[in-house]
Amino acid sequence: MKSSVYRYIALFIVAILFQASIVRYLEIFSWKPDLVLIILIMFSIQSGPSLGSTAGFFAGLLTDLISGHFLGLGALSKTIAGFISGIWAKYFPEKTQFIITLAIGGFLHNIIYFFLLTIGIEFSWRSLVFVYTVPNLFYTTLVGLFINFLIRSWLKED
């Protein structure tokens, strides 16, 4: 367990740095995958809501610091995503656990994130969901499946 936490810390650092630098090259229209969210969901599934929300808060905070967005925006949305994923993951079958948790946690994350981001701007809920939340989530899920496939066995080595 201990070594897997270290691996997750390393993954979070790499994901945050990549998110701030390389991910912009993967941008399609204005949609891009959230690598930190992917790692957070994987971590929350394995570690539960306490560590999930803690990791979400700090990872979100670092992302906010680096991204230049409102400080606390990512921290808040990722805290909730980590918490919810940690709680709900155990209710899903193992085979589909990651994808469903990522979909739910990611949806919640994106809704909170984009809602807070667009406060004070005239913005319809429909745009919020269908222009920002869902396409970003879809992209993140696709990339998440790929990353999960790549590093799942590495994370389970102990």
| Chain residues that interact with other proteins, rule: CB under 8 A | 17, 20-22, 48-50, 53-54, 56-57, 60-62, 64-66, 68, 70-73, 75-76, 79-80, 83, 86-87, 116
Closest approach of other proteins to the CB of residue 82, in Å: 9
Nearer to other proteins, 21 or 96 (CB): 21
Instruction: Report how far apart, in Å, the C-alpha atoms of 58 and of each of 6, 50, 157 are.
Output: 15, 13, 25
- Give, in degrees to the nearest 5, the angle at Cα 114 between 110 and 120: 160
Q: Are 111 and 37 in contact (CB under 8 A)?
A: no
Closest approach of other proteins to the CB of residue 79, in Å: 4
- Cα–Cα dist 73/89, whole Å: 24
Nearer to other proteins, 8 or 141 (CB): 8
Please provide the DSSP assignment of 40-72 as one string: HHHHHHHH-HHHHHHHHHHHHHHHHHHH-S-TT
Residue in the block written with tokens 């204005």: 30
Nearer to other proteins, 13 or 142 (CB): 13
Closest approach of other proteins to the CB of residue 25, in Å: 11
Nearer to other proteins, 20 or 99 (CB): 20
Closest approach of other proteins to the CB of residue 136, in Å: 20
